[in-house]
Structure 1
Amino acid sequence: MDFDTLLKFINELSGQIDLDVVLRDAEALCICAGENGAACIPPGSPPSLPVDNGLFYSQQDDEVL
């Protein structure tokens, strides 16, 4: 698949991907992979966001101003 075809495909997905489901699934896969998954990341990969509590996307209460 060439770049233009891939780009067109990705653009056509715009607005059709349920982001909450994708993030929940990605988090579950990451937790399941654990240290073995981390060992498979190639050297030189960009760093990920730091994780404070073991969950990547924890829900926080909105502050009332």
Structure 2
Amino acid sequence: MGEQMDIDTLLKFINELSGQIDLDLVLRDAEALCVYAGENGVASIPPGTPPSLSSQDASIYQQQDDEVL
């Protein structure tokens, strides 16, 4: 049986990933997987899954780089 991670450990892990993930690469891979999955991928999405934001809607959530002091 796997070890259960408490919330503090999970948050520490996530914070340590900050700035370490190549977002462009992850998004390219995700897009490629979506294209590859095609209709079979769409059919495997569980009912009730929230829809993705359109790129137009997502633009309001774009994060500005923090100014380094």
Q: Same fold by TM (over 0.5)?
A: yes
> Would you say how many aligned residue pairs link Structure 1 and Structure 2?
51
Give the corresponding residue for 1:5: 9
Task: Please report the RMSD computed on the Cα atoms of aligned residues, expressed in angstroms.
Answer: 1.6
Q: 1:44 aligns with which of 33, 45, 48?
A: 48
2:29 matched to 1:25? yes
Q: Any stretches of 5+ residues in structure 1 without a counterpart?
A: 52-65
| TM-score, normalised via structure 1 length | 0.68
Task: Determine which structure has greater relative contact order: mean sequence separation of CA pairs < 8 Å that are 6+ residues apart, divided by chain length.
Answer: 1
Per-residue deviation, residues 4-38 of structure 1 (Å, max 9, x unmatched): 22221111000011110000000000100111111
User: Partner amino acid for 1:37?
Assistant: G
Aligned to 2:12, what secondary structure does the other structure show? helix
Structure with higher helix content: 2
